[in-house]
Structures are given as C-alpha cells and as structure tokens.
Amino acid sequence: MPLRSEPTETRFKMHSAHKKKGYLILWLLFILGWTLASCASAPVSKNAEAPPALGKEFEPSLQVKKMNERLMRTGLPPKQMSEQDYKIGPDDLLEISVNEDEKFNKTVKVSSQGNIKLPLIGILKVNGLTAIKLEREIESLLAEQYIYDPHVTVIIKEHRNQRISVMGAVARPGTYDFTGRTTLSDVLVMTGGLREDAGPLLFLSRSPGAGIQKPKNESDGQRPNTFVISLEDLLLNGETDSNLALMHGDVINIPVAGKVFVGGAVRNPGGFPLAKRMTLSQAITMAQGLTPKAKGSVTRIFRYSQYPEKKTEKEILVANVNAIHAGEEQDLYLKENDVIFVPQSTGKTILIEFWDLLKGQIMSFHPYAL
C-alpha cells in the first residue's frame, strides 16, 4: 500500500500545478482580452460616453406638443369679435341704410354670383369686399348722381355657412362648417390640434375666384392658389400675418413630417421624424447612439435627389461622427429621406468576438471564474 500512495500523491501535485498554470494562462488572456476590448470600444473622440438615449431639445414630437399647448390655451375667439376683415360672399344677408334718404335702405341677400341689386344703382358685385369697403363704394356711386356727401352703413345680418376641408396630420381631419370670421388657428383648435407626426408646414389652397388675403412674404405678382405657412411662426412665434382669415372652399393640408433613416452599428436603427434643422449627431442620438463595434469615423449619408424628369440621383457624404461629438468637426444638417449608415469596425469586431470567446472558455473551465 505505501508503494502505491507515492505515485498517486505525485500525480495529484502535478495535476494541481497544471490546473494552477491553466488558471494563470486564462487569467492572463482575460486581462489581455479585457484591455483590447476596452481599447476597441473606446471612441476616437474626446467624449468617451455614448450619446444620451434621447435628445429632448430636438425631439420633433416635443415641438408639436408645445404647439398644441399654445393652441388649446388660446382657444376659440368670442363670437362677437370684430368683423371688419370679414369678406362678403354668396348667401350673406346685408342690411344697407343711407342716412340722407330712407328709400335707399334695403335688406338684400348676396346672390350665388356674389352680386346684390340696389335702387337706382342696379347690380353691384360685392363678393370679396368687406362691409367698410362696400360702404365706401355705395357712397361713391350715390355721390356721383343722387346725394351730396352720403353716409352709408352696411351690417352683415346673417353669415352664410362656410365650409372648409382639413386633411393631413391633425387629430380629426374632415370637413368643417363655420360662420363669421375664422382663422387658421381657430380651425386647428376645431380639429383637436396636431398629431405627433405633423410636419413643419401648413398648405392653404384657395380657389382663384376667392378674395385673397396675402401674407407679407408673398410676392406682389400673380395671385397664388396655395399659401405655405410655417407652423412654428403661426403657433409659437405669434406671427399674426401667418394667421390668415379663411374663406368658403379653402382646403388646409398639414403633411406628415419627413423622415431620416439610421442603420448599421447603432443601438436602435430605424426611421425617425425629421425635425427642423436636424443634424447628423442628433439623428445618431435618436438611434440610441453607436454600438461598441461602430466605426463612426466613416459614417455615410446617402442622399437621394428627385428631379422633374423622374431621374433619381444619389449623393454619398462621409462624416466623422466621433470628431463631431468631440467638437473637432462641424455637424451636418440632414435632408428628408437621408439614409445614414454607420459601418462596423473589423478590428473592433474581431477583438470583441475574441473577448466573448475567452469569456466562454473561462466560464466552461470554472463557472464561477467571472
């Protein structure tokens, strides 16, 4: 028995030494892998941390929320508001009185052609005129032949039921009837406000025959059929020139926001609403930032331009996201339908996969090693 115990003890010591040596090698590889993986995952930029999960300051839905809050705070105007800007149209009932001669006093309804008929004056086109302008016109006609220095009063007794259509990114699109003077902001309140995917612009289409109220930024040339209004100017900046008075038959369209697409080595790839003046770094942040395998220094932006002849051209821009995050390079503004692709770094991928392999071997050798 003593002769057998010595080889057994020797084998046990050799096995123990071999086991310790294996542990030592694995732990050396562990340290090496950890060091390489750390170097691989560290970005080139000075900012070693990934961008925050979501950039609140440029989130498109936040701006829409602010617009809706402003709309609901303002609410609808009182019905007894001033009608000095109201444009007369078909089916309006007008009460016309002349101080100097009662025989000219009359209550008339505007015809479907936009005309009225008055004693001695005859047929008079009133469509698109305000009450004040109609008073001046009647005074001028009476002064030419019948009355010296006449004083005319026009009161709109009944307004026609006016109808407009609202489509696009609003809570309740559809057809709306209204009476009296109504503006763009009033109708947006009626529709329940903007949807979260609302774009930055509102398009107001108006028939050529209607009286046109032009905002200051429109040219004085041929009257346009469509007005383009910035929702930010209308609802946040309080520009009254953008809050146009509506007319019967107007069509309002608020298209959904354009999108940019982010793919490749980002944490949450997909399409994101294009906020006003969105930059590349902001789009990366909305995609939850770069993955450890990302090669942000050669980020590509694929830009597609659509021409009238239906020829699509592709432009490829290359940007260094790491340098942009570090403030070493200027950020890039994005356009609608831009596709952003962040490639994976081959070196980082190999090192990280090597590190994963090491972890697996250590765990299989000793499940409590990590």
296 touches 324 (CB < 8 A): no
pLDDT tens digit at each of 370 positions of the chain: 454 545 555 554 555 555 555 555 555 555 555 555 454 444 433 333 333 333 333 455 677 777 777 777 765 444 434 466 678 888 889 999 988 888 888 899 999 888 999 888 889 999 888 889 999 999 998 888 888 888 999 988 887 767 899 999 999 999 988 877 788 999 999 999 998 888 888 999 987 755 444 444 444 444 447 888 888 888 888 777 888 888 888 999 998 888 889 988 899 998 888 876 789 999 999 899 998 888 889 999 998 765 544 445 678 899 999 999 999 999 999 988 889 999 887 766 566 555 555 555 555 555 554 5
At residue 348, the pLDDT reads 60
At residue 336, the pLDDT reads 84
Cα gap 192→174, rounded to integer Å = 11
**Token pair recorded at residue 75:** 């609410």
Question: What domains are defined for the chain?
Answer: 64-81+162-254 (3.10.560.10), 93-158 (3.30.1950.10), 258-345 (3.10.560.10)
Cα gap 133→225, rounded to integer Å = 24
190 touches 275 (CB < 8 A): no
Query: β-pairing, 201-205 with 226-230?
Result: antiparallel
In the numeric block, the tokens 């059929």 are attached to 225
What DSSP letter does each residue of 176-234 carry, written as one string?
Answer: EEE-S--BHHHHHHHTT-B-TTB-SEEEEE--TTS-----TTS-SSSPPSEEEEEHIII
What's the order of all strands across the beta sheet hosting 106-109? Answer: 106-109, 93-98, 152-158
**What is the largest distance, in Å, between two alpha-carbon atoms of the chain?**
147
299 three-state secondary structure = strand
At residue 165, the pLDDT reads 93
At residue 70, the pLDDT reads 76
Cα gap 337→306, rounded to integer Å = 11
Find, among 332, 343, 326, the residue nearest to 283 by Cα. 332
CA distances from 209 to 61, 157, 165 (A): 37, 24, 17
At residue 312, the pLDDT reads 53
CA triple 226-230-232, angle to 5 deg: 160
Beta bridge partners of 317: 301
**Token pair recorded at residue 79:** 């019905």
At residue 246, the pLDDT reads 87
